[in-house]
Amino acid sequence: MEKEIEERLGLWGLKLDAETLAKLKILAREVKEKNAGLNLISKNDEPCFWSRHLADSLAAAPLLQKLVLPGALAADAGSGPGFPGLPLAAALPSVNFELWDSNRKRVEFALWAAGSMKLKNAAVFYRRIGQSGAFEKARYDAVLERAMGKLENILPQCLNMLKSGGVFLAWQSGLEDAAAPGSLKALTKAGAKLETRFTYALPGETRERLILVFRKGKL
pTM for the whole structure: 0.93
Backbone CA torsion sign across 69, 130, 84, 20: positive
CA–CA separation, 183 vs 155, rounded Å? Answer: 7
Query: Taking all residues of the chain, what is their mean pLDDT, rounded to a whole number?
Result: 91
Beta strand pairing status for 209-215 and 162-172?
antiparallel
How far is the C-alpha of 151 from the C-alpha of 112, rounded, in Å?
30
Q: In this predicted model, what pLDDT tens digit does every residue of 13-34 receive, in sequence order?
A: 999 999 999 999 999 999 999 9
Report the alpha-carbon distance of residue 52 to residue 61 in Å, rounded: 15
181 close to 113: Cβ distance less than 8 angstroms: no
Residue 132 is predicted with a pLDDT of 60
181, with CB counted inside 10 A (0-12, 13-18, 19+), is exposed
Residue 170 DSSP SS3: strand
What is the Cβ-side half-sphere exposure of residue 92, based on CA atoms within 13 angstroms?
30
From the list 51, 115, 39, 52, the residue with the least C-alpha distance to 80 is 39
Query: Candidates 3.40.50.150, 3.40.50.620, 3.40.190.10, 3.30.505.50; correct CATH number of 2-215?
Result: 3.40.50.150
User: Based on the number of CB atoms within 10 Å of its own CB, is 100 exposed (0-12), middle (13-18) or buried (19 or more)?
Assistant: buried
Q: What is the pLDDT of residues 99-141, one digit of tens each?
A: 999 999 999 999 999 999 999 999 999 998 776 666 677 899 9
Domain boundaries, the chain: 2-215
- HEC assignment per residue over 5-30: HHHHHHHHCCCCCHHHHHHHHHHHHH
pLDDT in tens, 147-199: 877 888 889 899 999 999 999 999 998 777 787 888 888 889 888 999 999 99
